[in-house]
Amino acid sequence: MPDVLLHWFAFGGGLFLVISTVLAAIRSFVLPRNETVLISSFVFRVLRMLFNGLARLGTTYERRDRVMALYAPVGLVALPIVWLTLLSVGYTNIFWALGEGRWERCLRISNSSLLTLGSEEPSHNVWANLISYSEATLGLLLMTLLISYLPTMYQAFSRREITVSRLELRSGAKASAVELLLWLHRTGSLQDDRAQWQEWEQWFVEIEETHTSLPILSFFRSPQPGRSWITAAGVILDAAALIISTVEQPRDPYLTLCFKAGCVALNRVARFFGYDERPGSPPSPAEQAGFHHSREQLREAGIPLCPEAEAWQQYQELRSRYARAAAYLARVTMAPGAVND
C-alpha cells in the first residue's frame, strides 16, 4: 500500500507541475491582461538580484547600464529553460509512477521525449507512450510560443524607442521639459500642436497595454545609455503640467487627453511592480526653486505666464498624479538619474 500511495503521489505531483508550467507560459505570453505569474516572477527576481550585484561593480552609470542591458534578454532566454526543466521533472515523476523503471531511466525517457531526440523510449505500455508523445508536443509548443512572441515584443520595443528618440530631438539630450516647451514656442505650435499630443497620447496607451501584458518590456533599455522611456514619459508629462498650470493660454483638449493617458499608463505599470500609492511628502524648497527657474526661462523666451503662486499650486497638484509613479519605475528599471551617475 505505501508503494501504491507513493506512485499516486508522484503521478499527481508530476501532473500538477506540468499543468502549472503550461498555464504559466500561457499566462505570460498569450493571456492579454496583466497577471503576476509566480514562475516567471521567480526567474526574473533571481536574475535581478544577480544583475544588481554585477551592476554595483560598475563605477559609472555607463558601465552599470551595459550590465543591466543584458538583464531582460537573459531573462527571456532563461524563462523557456526553466519551463523545460520543470516539464522534465514533472514527466519524470509521471513515468516513474507508471512503472518505467528507476529514476535515472525515467529522466532519460523524459528528456528524450521533451527534446524530441528519440534516443530513449518507454516500454510498450500504451499510457507511457501517450505520455511521451504529450511531452514532446508540449516541449515544441513552449518553444514555439516564445519564438512567435519575440517579434511582437521587439516591434513594441521599436515603436517605443522611436518616440523616445524623436523626443530627444525636441527636448535636448538632457531631456528637459522646459526645452520641449521652448521648442514648441519657437515652432509656433505651443498653442496648437494637436498631431504631436495625439501621437504622445497613442504612445502612452501602447505603453500601458504592452508593459503590463508583457512586463519584461519595461526592462529593455534604450540603445543609448542616456535615454529611457520613463525619462521620456516624465518629460512629456512635466511639459504638459507646465503648460496647463503656468502658460497663459486656452486649455488644449488634446494636451489634456495626453496628460491623462500618461498618468494612467505610469500608475498602472508601476502598480504591476508593487507601487504603493500612499501620498508622498510635501514638495521641497529645491523643487519650488526649480519651478521658479523654469518660469524665468519661459518668461525670457516671451511666453505669457499665469501668476506664480496659483501656477505653483496647480503644477504640484498635477505632478502628484504621476511623479511618484515615474520615480518608482525609474528606480525599479535603473533609469538615468535614478542612481548615482
Q: Based on the structure, what is the number of domains in the chain?
A: 2
Model pLDDT, residue 49: 93
156: Cβ–Cβ under 8 A, 6 or more apart, which residues? 206, 210, 214, 217
Q: What is the pLDDT of residue 103?
A: 84
Same domain, 102 and 196: no
pTM reported for the whole predicted model: 0.85
Return the pLDDT at 341: 40
Residues 56 and 187 in one domain: no
pLDDT number for residue 147: 81
| Residue 247 DSSP SS3 | strand
Side-chain half-sphere CA neighbours of 73 within 13 A = 9
Domain span at 112: 2-146
Q: Say if residue 137 is in the same domain as residue 181.
A: no
Residues 87 and 135 in one domain: yes
Q: Name residue 316's amino acid.
A: Q
pLDDT at 339: 46
In this structure, the answer to whether residues 129 and 238 fall within a common structural domain is no
205, 103: one domain = no
Is the domain of 50 the same as that of 129?
yes
Q: Which amino acid would we find at residue 37?
A: V
Res 16: pLDDT: 92
Which sign does the torsion angle of CA 225, 228, 231, 236 carry?
Answer: positive
Per-residue confidence (pLDDT) for residue 192, from 0 to 100:
67
Greater model confidence, 277 or 259: 259
pLDDT tens, residue by residue, 38-78: 888 899 999 999 999 998 888 888 888 899 999 999 998 89
220 lies in a domain?
Answer: yes
Instruction: Say whether both 106 and 11 belong to one domain.
Output: yes
The answer to whether the CB of 40 falls within 8 A of the CB of 24 is: yes
The pLDDT of 129-157, averaged and rounded, is 85
Q: Is 293 part of a structural domain of the chain?
A: yes
What does the pLDDT average to over 294-321? 91
pLDDT surpassing 50 at residue 340: no
Do residues 261 and 279 make contact, with C-beta atoms less than 8 angstroms apart?
no
Does 85 map to a domain?
A: yes
Q: Indicate whether 200 belongs to any domain.
A: yes
**Are 218 and 256 contained in the same domain?**
yes
Q: Does residue 157 sit within a domain?
A: no
